[in-house]
Amino acid sequence: MKIVSLETFLTNAGLRNYCFIRLRTDTGLTGIGEASLEWQELTTQTLIHELFEERYVLGSDPFDVESLVMRMIRDQYQGSAVAMTAISGIEIACWDLIGKATGQPVYKLLGGRCHDRLEAYANGWYGGAVAPEHYAERATAAVAGGYRGLKFDPFGTAWKRLDRQGLDQSVAIVEAVRRAVGDDIELMIEFHGRLSIDAALEVGRRLEVYRPAWYEEPVAADNLDLLAEFKSSSTVRVAAGERLYTLADFARLTSQRAADVVQMDVAHCGGILMAKKIAALAEPYDIIFAPHVSIGPVALAAALHLDMCCNNFYYQENFGEHDVNYRDDLVKGWNRFDNGYFTLDDTPGLGLELNDAVIAAHPYRPNTFPSLWDNRWIEEFTKRT
C-alpha cells in the first residue's frame, strides 16, 4: 500500500482555524489527520506541501510510520512548532490508514484497551466571564453538564508580574468558582506561563487554600529549570508540556521531575506514536499524563486513542462542548462524549471522517486567535457570549 495523494483543508471555527489532512492510498483507503497551530495554520499548511508532500509522503507505505516520522524530523533540521505540527498531522493520518487497513481501532494497535472510559475536564467554559460571579455562573453550568474538572485562567493579561489589585482579583475568581462548585470538583489553574517565578510562587501560595488539582505552566514553558524550582516549592501539582515539541524536551522534563502531570499535545509533539513514547518516559517516574488538546476534533480523537492504550493516563482536556456549534459537523462519526466521559468503540482507525461540505462552508480567517497578553484576550474571549 502506497500513499498517492495528500490534501489539506483549512476551516475556521471562531477563535481558531483548523488544518485537516487527508491521505489517499493506491488501494483507495483514506486516512485523516490534523495539523492545526494557533496563529500559524496557513504556514503549517504551506510547509506540509512545500517540504513534506512530495519528498517524504507520496509513495510511502503508511505502515512505515516510524521511519517516515524519523526522516521528516531529522531532515527538517531547524526544528519548530510549525514543522512538528505538520509532521504530527501526517503521522496521525498514517495511523488512521493503518487502522482502516487492518480493521482495528488505533488504540488496539498500540497496546489495547487500558480503560473502560476516559474522564474529561472542561476548558473554554468561562468565555463571557469577567467578574468572579460570572466565572461562578459558568462553572456551575459546566458542572451541570457532567464535568468533574474545570480548567481556567483567572489572571487577565498579566505578564511576569501581578499588581496587588490583579492578584486580589485572581484570587477572588478562584474563590468564587470553588464556592460555586463545591469541594468535589477539581480546579486546574492555567497560568499560560505568564509569571516570573517569584510572582508565580506568591500566587500559588495564595491559591493553595482552594485545593487546585494542578498549576499549569506557572512559569515560562521552555524553562525547565525554573519549572523544577517552582515545583520543589509548591504543595500543588505542576502540569506542563503543551509547548514542548521533541522527545528530548520530554526526556528532560520527566528526568528532572519538573512536572507532576505531562501535557504532551499529540498534534504538536510528533504524533500518536511519539506521544506514547513520551507517556512511557513518564511512567517509571510515576508521572501521569493529561494530553493538551485546544484544537479540532481529529486531534482530539488522536489523543483519545493514546489515552486508551496507556496505563498512566489521567485526564483529557475538552474544548468541544464550548467551541462553535458546528464543530462536530466538521467530521462524520463523532461525538463520543457523554456526562464528563469519552468512550471509544472498535471502529477502525480514528473512527471519524472529514465532512468536506461543512469544512468548505467555514473558510479560513487570518489571525483569529487572540493574544493572551493584551486586551484582545479580554475583548474577544472573556467578553465572548
Helices vs strands, H then E, count in the chain: 13, 15
Separation in Å, CA 268 to CA 80, 116, 156, 282, 302? 10, 27, 26, 18, 12
Nearest to 111 by CA among 340, 374, 288, 308: 308
Q: Is 292 a catalytic residue?
A: yes
Q: Is 192 a catalytic residue?
A: yes
Separation in Å, CA 255 to CA 251, 260, 276, 278, 298? 6, 11, 16, 11, 31
DSSP-derived letter for residue 380 is I
Q: 32 forms bridges with which residues in the sheet?
A: 22
Q: Are 178 and 170 in contact (CB under 8 A)?
A: no
Q: What is the CA radius of gyration of the chain?
A: 20
Which residue reads 467530521 in cell numbers? 331
319 SS3 class: coil
Q: Could you give the CA distance from residue 181 to residue 211 in angstroms, rounded to a whole number?
A: 13
Q: Could you give the CA distance from residue 246 to residue 64 in angstroms, rounded to a whole number?
A: 20
Phi/psi of residue 360, each to 5°? -65, -25
Q: Are 265 and 99 in contact (CB under 8 A)?
A: no
Which residue among the candidates 115, 134, 292, 322 is catalytic per the annotation? 292
Which residue among the candidates 49, 134, 192, 305 is catalytic per the annotation? 192
**Strand order, beta sheet including 3-13:** 3-13, 16-25, 30-34
263 SS3 class: coil
Name the packing angle between helices 81-102 and 65-76 (round to 10°): 170
Q: Are 298 and 275 in contact (CB under 8 A)?
A: no
- Which residues are catalytic, by number? 192, 292
